[in-house]
Amino acid sequence: MVSSSMNVLLLLIVLTINLATVTVARSGGLSWEVLSEQEADRVVRLPGQPPVSFKQYAGYVTVNQTHGRALFYWFFEAMEKPEKKPLLLWLNGGPGCSSIGYGEAEELGPFFPQKGQPELKFNNYTWNRVANLLFVESPVGVGFSYTNTSSDIKQLGDSITAKDSYIFLVNWFKRFPQYKSHDFYISGESYAGHYVPQLSEYIFDSNKNVSKEDYINLKGFMVGNALLDDETDQTGMIDYAWDHAVISDRVYKDVKSKCNFSEENPSDDCNNALNEYFAVYDIIDMYSLYTATCVDSNFSSTRQLRPIIQGIAPQLFSKINGWHKRPTGYDPCASDYTEVYMNRPDVQEALHANVTNIPYPWTHCSDNITFWGDAPASILPIIKKLIAGGLRVWVYSGDTDGRIPVTSTRLTLNKLGLNTTEEWSPWYTKHKQVGGWTIMYDGLMFVTVRGAGHEVPSFKPWKALQLISHFLANKKLPSAPF
């Protein structure tokens, strides 16, 4: 009897080992530990989610064990052949704004919340058509990302954001090692004009010294309507407002004569002039000059001012209340629908989010971040360095954005001093319409997107998908109707 029991036990052990071997083989050689970690983060179905065939994962990655700092991510496999598609990380800016709230839920992710409906809308122009798509809420204190050391919030800045994001990536690849060999790209908008190049530089420098296990296969980055240089960003904003009939000749001349955008601290006269300039954007949307503002009396978050964050770029404008308006999108109330959805307990449970019971509601932009430790006045030296290092660099600009307008970006790129290799020319959409304009510099491509505001994928989703497709494939946009 004992012998028979032992034989059964041995048989079960052999079968288990064989099953494990088969499972590991079928999963590309991933260990049981890795598979179990991935399965723990698997999002089986979100409340109100339409059926999809691709997999999605969400959860936390610890970036500082001692302080209890963890960043929240949401990852979508590519819709088709994810094993052959690149990996793209998307970052929103702020600083202090959520890449999930804006990027995933209102711009380029698969699922969009809707007004007054429990169902999510599928985004036909989702970027996981062309890439494996990763969103992370960074730095800690943003969205669901958290720290157990409250003093961390007072020490935030560009440098720690880049470092934590890098540690996040190294640890995320340990959880998803099947993507380590994929070409890796980073994209983002607005203050991600700081985040994206700085993280790219951190990876670029670290790759020279790390082990093969921690090497990240970074190939390039793309930023849109991006804060890149204080002087030209601010100058371009004023020029754009005047040129687009937003401000009067008098306000324009007052700002030009009383403000020095190379200086950090504005004079009283400059403050007064800037307050007149920003007052116009109380009645129209700075982020999209020609679309409506949210007038739904039930929602107001898109019209609130964020608290002034001391120390962020641009140093002069950041001290003015008007600079801290919350962004809005094509549907000017879309952010309100997202906040309702992301604060639902069943949604948070499905996303494995808010596991520490954060003592404040999820918001697009953190109200807890009021100090920023470091923010260089210009990111151009980093961009020059990474171009010289062989990374692919594209910059794009929605041309109806007043926040970081095309005027600012053109002045900034001229300041880079790169040689022009292909002159200003139109690019075309599949509808045989001019999608915008391109100019190719030595090592950098600049693209404008006609009719798009600050958040290009929200306003012109089909153009944005065409843009990211060509960037990832390293192909020029069509220069003639097709």
310: Cα separation from own chain's centroid = 22
- Asked whether the predicted pLDDT for residue 302 surpasses 50, the reply is no
Going by the DSSP 8-state scheme, the letter that residue 50 receives in this structure is P
Band (pLDDT 50/70/90 cuts) for residue 28 is low
Structure confidence by residue, pLDDT tens digits, 332-360: 677 788 999 999 999 999 999 999 999 99
pLDDT of residue 298: 56
What region does 405 belong to: left with phi over 0, alpha with psi -120 to 50, or beta? beta
Q: How far is CA 340 from CA 113, 353, 361, in A?
A: 9, 15, 10
CA distance 199 to 139: 12
Q: How far apart are CA 333 and CA 122, in angstroms?
A: 18
> Is-cis flag, bond preceding 314, omega within 30?
yes
Phi, psi torsion values for 180, nearest 5 degrees? -65, -30
Active site residue 190: yes
pLDDT digits (tens, 9 = 90+) for 376-400: 999 999 999 999 999 999 999 999 9
Identified catalytic residue from 254, 401, 408, 458: 401
Of the candidates 324, 352, 454, 470, the residue annotated as catalytic is: 454
Residue 454 a catalytic site member: yes
Spell out the residues 6+ positions from residue 261 whose beta carbon is closer than 8 angstroms to its own. Answer: 230, 231, 234, 235, 314, 316
Is 67 labeled as catalytic in the residue annotation? no
Label residue 150 by pLDDT band (50, 70, 90).
very high
Angle at 427 between CA 424 and CA 429, to 5 degrees: 165
From the candidates 99, 165, 190, 200, give the one annotated as an active-site residue: 190
Q: 466 Cβ partners below 8 Å, 6+ apart?
A: 429, 430, 435, 477
The secondary structure element, H or E, covering residue 19 is helix 2-26
